[in-house]
Amino acid sequence: MSETLVAAAEEAPRAADLAFDRLYRSSRDDIYAYVAGLLRDGPAAEEVTAAAFERAYRKRHRFDPERGEPRAWLFGIARNAALDELRRRDRQAELTAEPVDLHSFGAEAVAEHSERRLAVSTALERLAPRERELIALKFFAGLSNAEIARVLGVSESNAGTKLHRAMTKLREACDGTA
C-alpha cells in the first residue's frame, strides 16, 4: 500500500476519511483473521476488531508515515487491543477460571475439513500465544516478514527466525497430535 493517511489528511479532511476507508476495506478481514487467530474466540475477536478500527479511526490524524506503513500501524493498534483482551481474560481467569470459548472458533471450517486440518487446529491451540500470533500474522492476515517485523517492533531477520521457530513448534505439535 503506497498511500499514506497523513499525506491525504493534509490535503483535505475528506481525503483522509477516504484513505482510511480504503485502509479499512483492504484490512478488515485480515485484522479479524489475525485477532481471531490470536484469541481463538469468535465473539471476542469481533469485539476487538471493532475496537481496533474505532481506535485507529480516532487516531488517524496522528499517524506518522515516517514510522511505517498504514497497514502495519493498523495491525499495531489491533495487536494492542488483542493483548488488552488477553490481559482482561487473565484477570478474569484469576477470579472465575471461566473457560475460553474454543469451540466457537473455526468450528465450521474444521467441520468441513479433513482430520489433518483438525490436527493442525488442535496444534494451534497448544501453541503459546506469542507463537500463535506469528502464525496468525503470517498465514491468517497475510503479512510479509517485513510487515510482521514492523508490527512486532523487531528486525525482519528476527521476525523470520521467530516465525520459523513457531512453525517448527506447530509441526511438532501436529506430530504430537498425530
Partner 1 sequence: MEPPRDDQLIADLRALRPAPRPEFAAELDERAAAGFPRRSRLPRFSFERLRAIPRRRLLLPAGGVALAVVAIGTVVALSGGSEQNNGGPLSLSSPKTPSAQRPPQEIKPFSKESPEVQYEAVVPVAPSAGAASKDSAEALNGDFNASFRPRKIERSAEVVLGAEPQGVAGDAAKVFEAVHTNDGIVMHSSTRQGKAGEAGASFDLLIPSAKLPDALAAFSAIDEVRSRHEATADITAPTVSTAELLRESRARIDSLLGQLGEAETESEREAVEAELRHERHHASRLAAQLDHLHRRADLSRVSLRIVTGDSNESSGGGAWGIDDAFHDAGHILAVAAAVTVVGLAILGPIALIALLAWLTHRAWVRRERRRALG
Nearest distance in Å: CB 139, partner 1? 4
Largest CA distance in the chain: 57
CA distances from 152 to 52, 128, 144 (A): 16, 16, 12
Over the window 56 to 75, marking each residue x when it contacts partner 1 by CB under 8 A and - when it does not, the resulting string is -xx-----------------
Closest CB 89 distance from partner 1, rounded Å? 8
Q: Which residue, among 128, 132, 86, has the nearest Cα to 106 in the 3D structure? A: 132
99: left (phi over 0), alpha (psi -120 to 50) or beta: beta
Cα dihedral across residues 164, 165, 168, 174: positive or negative: negative
State in angstroms the smallest separation of the CB of 120 from partner 1.
5
Residues in the site for partner 1, rule: CB under 8 A?
Answer: 17, 21, 24, 28-29, 32-33, 36-37, 42, 45-46, 49-50, 53-54, 57-58, 80, 83-84, 86-88, 90-92, 94-96, 105-106, 109-110, 113, 115-117, 119-121, 124, 128-130, 133, 135, 139-140, 167, 170-171, 174-175, 178
